[in-house]
A and B are shown apart, each in its own frame.
Chain A
């Protein structure tokens, strides 16, 4: 949470007009890179993170000391092999890992911006990250990749910059947030705002933190990332460190204990206001509305190759919503591949060890890289 971490950062001086109407400039975007950019600058992959992710895709996350959030996918000899590719990931605008967000210190007051931070959108996030691509002097990315909210950014990126990526891989995402998605996000926001320590978003002025509310938000959201079958198989009705029920409200069941743990570790690494702003950005995401109700129009100008992936047990961003993206692309004759991966791990499948996902993704990226390079020669 903007602790004094030594993050790589650029300050974007170009003014950026946000969707809410406000214009910002001289704002920071924190990022991390893995691997080496080749001489032709043809091996760069921009990874977009999901709601609670950050720039630390691979290796050790210096804040949490845990593995990077996409360690199964990105790293040496991983599906996105950093021996071969130059991987870039930025903390999204609104985030709390060094990029411009509600916990950024306002230099004139010396205090965190809090809820004076403007409402931001997926479009704003992507436009800010494009500034990073320009800063790194990469004319054309080999690929843009991301799951969940990262997938939404993939779609928005190609729509905004149709000739800046050869390949786009949106995973387990949607082109517009559904009522169910908005409902769950609202539940999380209400939990945070109902915490008396939230103080209308200016908790840091009082050295407070609405950690109870944020933990509840995380617990509720975490359920939506799993599947009923996965939960049942992993936890069932198993009891936590006890042989019988205690007839009280302690965490009798393992699932309760697990969720409480998930909530408690989350508050140590994430800012409550960032959670509000980023979930809002997701709710506002409706790519087809940006193109007057025709999603295909978002991709009309692009020659980018697409590969859409969904998971059987993902009920948060179900296959039907991923398929809508495929249908929109097909209806304009775009180059799109699609597969629904079999997995019991719910929406979280894209972050976990799901071998058929990892293999298909890795093989696809590597063969496509080879095919595209051969063609150029």
Chain B
């Protein structure tokens, strides 16, 4: 978690306007507030988590990214963050499009389904993968649309979404993803972090 927060924080310029979509209990918001910018908002679907955030004095709105991002004007945030949430939406493509409208830049992080530990479970055990990073069973997972680093990379190039920066994380090891190491990073990273722009 901490590593991911650091990477996200390093992608953000100081004193900019940030929206954290699917902000959970506000841990990332709090981290960014202390390190980067005071001007940060959150959107979260769970009432309980929204109440936790508000209790900490964070500005969070209860809502659903699939229907409630529309209320924000175009380019009203310098950065919109979607941390490990894309796979939980009914329509991830629609959400990405909405994020790109609302934010001048968008940071998306993805639990990588192409990570070798994930692949091995399906290959050898023949069961849906359950890992530290993907702890749910197939019957109770909120993750409807899992994808790999390579899937998201290809999605961006197919949809003409500009990738500013793409970073792979394995445990606490950070590396850049590029066209030539894509297959390797896709196999050897548990998390992908992308800074994109429409």
Of all chain B residues, which has the CB nearest A361?
A: B54
- The one of B47, B54, B71 that contacts A342, using a Cβ cutoff of 8 Å: B47
Chain B residues closer than 8 Å to A359, beta-carbon distance: 51, 55
Contact indicator B56/A338 (Cβ below 8 Å): no
Q: Which of B59-67, B148-156, B165-173 contacts A (4 or more CB under 8 A)?
A: B59-67
Chain A residues closer than 8 Å to B50, beta-carbon distance: 338-339
- The one of A338, A356, A375 that contacts B62, using a Cβ cutoff of 8 Å: A338
- The one of A330, A332, A336, A364 that contacts B57, using a Cβ cutoff of 8 Å: A364
Chain B residues closer than 8 Å to A327, beta-carbon distance: 71
Give, as a whole number of angstroms, the nearest-CB distance from B21 to chain A.
13
Provide the main secondary structure of the chain B interface: mixed
- The one of A326, A331, A335, A339 that contacts B54, using a Cβ cutoff of 8 Å: A339
- The one of B17, B58, B71 that contacts A330, using a Cβ cutoff of 8 Å: B71
Give, as a whole number of angstroms, the nearest-CB distance from A115 to chain B.
43
- The one of B38, B61, B73, B76 that contacts A337, using a Cβ cutoff of 8 Å: B61
Q: 0/1 per residue, B40-57, Cβ < 8 Å to A? A: 010000010011011111
Judge if A368 is at the interface, Cβ distance under 8 Å. Answer: yes
Q: 0/1 per residue, A358-375, Cβ < 8 Å to B? A: 011001100110110001
Q: 0/1 per residue, B60-96, Cβ < 8 Å to A? A: 1111000000011100100000000000000000000
Chain A residues closer than 8 Å to B53, beta-carbon distance: 337
Give the docked Cα–Cα distance between A338 and B71 (Å): 13
Contact indicator A363/B59 (Cβ below 8 Å): no
- The one of B60, B63, B73 that contacts A331, using a Cβ cutoff of 8 Å: B73
Chain B residues closer than 8 Å to A339, beta-carbon distance: 47, 50-51, 54, 60, 62
Chain A residues closer than 8 Å to B56, beta-carbon distance: 363, 367
Q: A333-B76, A339-B47, A340-B47 are in contact. Are A360 and B62 (CB under 8 A)?
A: no
Give, as a whole number of angstroms, the nearest-CB distance from B86 to chain A.
22
Contact indicator B55/A364 (Cβ below 8 Å): yes
**CB-contacts of A307-360 with B (<8 A):** 307, 326-327, 330-333, 335-342, 356, 359-360
**CB-contacts of B117-150 with A (<8 A):** none
Contact indicator B73/A338 (Cβ below 8 Å): no
Contact indicator A360/B76 (Cβ below 8 Å): no
Range of interface residues on B (Cβ < 8 Å): 20 to 34
Of all chain A residues, which has the CB nearest B60?
A: A337
Chain B residues closer than 8 Å to A360, beta-carbon distance: 51, 54-55
Of all chain A residues, which has the CB nearest B17?
A: A333
Of the listed residues A305, A338, A356, the one surrounded by the most CB atoms of chain B closer than 10 A to its CB is A338
Q: 0/1 per residue, A141-179, Cβ < 8 Å to B? A: 000000000000000000000000000000000000000
Contact indicator A330/B47 (Cβ below 8 Å): no
Give the docked Cα–Cα distance between A333 and B58 (Å): 16
- The one of B57, B58, B63 that contacts A370, using a Cβ cutoff of 8 Å: B57
Give, as a whole number of angstroms, the nearest-CB distance from B24 to chain A.
14
Give the docked Cα–Cα distance between A307 and B62 (Å): 11
- The one of A336, A341, A363 that contacts B55, using a Cβ cutoff of 8 Å: A363
Of all chain A residues, which has the CB nearest B69?
A: A330
Contact indicator A336/B59 (Cβ below 8 Å): yes
Give the docked Cα–Cα distance between A363 and B55 (Å): 4
Contact indicator A326/B59 (Cβ below 8 Å): no
Chain B residues closer than 8 Å to A368, beta-carbon distance: 57
Of all chain B residues, which has the CB nearest A319?
A: B62
Give, as a whole number of angstroms, the nearest-CB distance from A83 to chain B.
19
Contact indicator A337/B54 (Cβ below 8 Å): yes
Chain B residues closer than 8 Å to A330, beta-carbon distance: 61, 71-72
Give, as a whole number of angstroms, the nearest-CB distance from A305 to chain B.
7
- The one of B51, B57, B63, B71 that contacts A367, using a Cβ cutoff of 8 Å: B57
Contact indicator B73/A333 (Cβ below 8 Å): yes
Of all chain A residues, which has the CB nearest B54?
A: A364
Chain A residues closer than 8 Å to B41, beta-carbon distance: 335
Chain A residues closer than 8 Å to B59, beta-carbon distance: 305, 335-337
**CB-contacts of A71-113 with B (<8 A):** none
Chain B residues closer than 8 Å to A363, beta-carbon distance: 54-57
Q: A359-B55, A364-B55, A368-B57 are in contact. Are A340 and B62 (CB under 8 A)?
A: yes
Contact indicator A326/B61 (Cβ below 8 Å): yes
Chain A residues closer than 8 Å to B17, beta-carbon distance: 333
- The one of A331, A335, A356, A375 that contacts B71, using a Cβ cutoff of 8 Å: A331
The 7 closest A-B pairs by CB, nearest first: A367-B57, A363-B55, A327-B71, A338-B61, A360-B51, A330-B71, A337-B59
Chain A contact residues, CB within 8 Å of chain B: 305, 307, 326-327, 330-333, 335-342, 356, 359-360, 363-364, 367-368, 370-371, 375
List 14 contacting pairs A-B, 8 Å CB cutoff, sorted by A: A330-B72, A332-B73, A333-B76, A338-B50, A341-B47, A341-B51, A342-B47, A359-B51, A359-B55, A360-B51, A360-B54, A363-B55, A364-B54, A367-B56
Q: A359-B51, A367-B57 are in contact. List 19 more A-B contacts (CB 8 A).
A: A305-B59, A330-B71, A333-B73, A335-B59, A337-B54, A337-B60, A337-B61, A338-B50, A339-B47, A340-B47, A360-B51, A360-B54, A360-B55, A363-B55, A363-B57, A367-B56, A368-B57, A370-B57, A371-B57
